[in-house]
Amino acid sequence: MVMAGDWPIRAIWYVEQITQAQEDPAMTKGALALLIHGGTDNWSPQRWKARFNDVCADRPVVLLPDANLDPADVHYAAVWKPVPGELAGFPNLRVIFNLGAGVDALMADKTLPGVPLVRVAVDDLTQRMTEWVVLHVLMHHRQELYLRESQRVKRWAPKYQWPAAAINVGILGLGTLGLDAAEVLKRIGFQVAGWSRSEKQIDGIETFHGAAQLDAFLARTDILVSLLPLTPDTRGILDRKMFTGLRRSSPLGAPIMINAGRGGLQDEADILACLDDGTLGAVSLDVFGQEPLPADSPFWTHPKVVLTPHNAADTDADAISRYVAEQIATFEAGGTLRNTVDRTRGY
């Protein structure tokens, strides 16, 4: 209750608050909450907050946990590997932005709010993934494992180099990443085909789709590149059955498998066994079931394995923060969010 003696002070305070809100749009816009776990130094929570402060200067940006935050003030969340249940406590949440391309960890959260979930799809990510895929396809095509071992033992014994046109590259997953990699590999001269869950038509690239056409796709493939999302249907799909279905008459001697999708796609025991018995000639792996890869993993020292520490598409964080800010602005202007996840498919 306002007493007669203090009403002028209360009135002045109220006018000051209204004026400040008009001058500072951040006081009138819902907060962007950051839930960041893990990542490189460049992906540290503090660096993410600094970036979002720059590109979202018109709204509060809050790094969680924050004891002073009212959960009802949060309208948006930008997340990287959040703990299950962390997002359930924001009653006014409107959109969740995943700071990476894969959303399998989020989809496993049974308490995930039923709001739009947006995945990262920036040109920088696509280009970096394509660079990694092309690097490793060429590495195996041009016999780099053999040549580096030859250098180590001082052996001058070149082998015949097959032209790119003699090698069939098959790409599992024809989303943005798979399509871009396929087009670049085709320009280099490889025979490129792709497989996807649903039918797609791509100029100059043979396409297969669905379970009924998977065997035909594998049977013509010398170098298999996996860029699939991790879903209940794709978990463990890179196994002995799949590797056995690859082309046995490969000019490379034995088929090659390259995985930059998700570690959960691959049966790691099958990969090692198939390398040892010749079903596979070599592999390049950027992802693993357990990360960081344990020091006692046989993948570290296997002579037919090229591994990288899940950095195939280590995307420019500045580009991601700008992407999120642009999406929020579009959404608040009544526009349509891009690259939203289809929860029924899991990607």
Residues recognised as catalytic:
262, 310
Specify the DSSP class assigned to residue 26: G
Tokens linked to 82: 């959040």
Q: Is 232 exposed, middle or buried (0-12, 13-18, 19+ CB in 10 A)?
A: exposed
Tokens linked to 284: 């390049």
Distance (Å, whole) CA 157 – CA 107: 51
Query: How many CB atoms within 10 Å of residue 103?
Result: 23
Distance (Å, whole) CA 161 – CA 143: 8
Yes or no: say if 143 and 167 are a contact pair by the CB < 8 Å rule.
no
User: Which helix (H) or strand (E) segment is 274 a member of?
Assistant: helix 268-277
Q: What are phi and psi of 77, to 5 degrees?
A: -135, 130
Residue owning tokens 């997953």 = 173
Distance (Å, whole) CA 25 – CA 280: 59
Query: How many CB atoms within 10 Å of residue 105?
Result: 19
Distance (Å, whole) CA 46 – CA 44: 5
**Alpha-carbon Rg of the chain, whole angstroms?**
25
CA torsion angle for 66, 70, 73, 76 (degrees, to 10)?
40
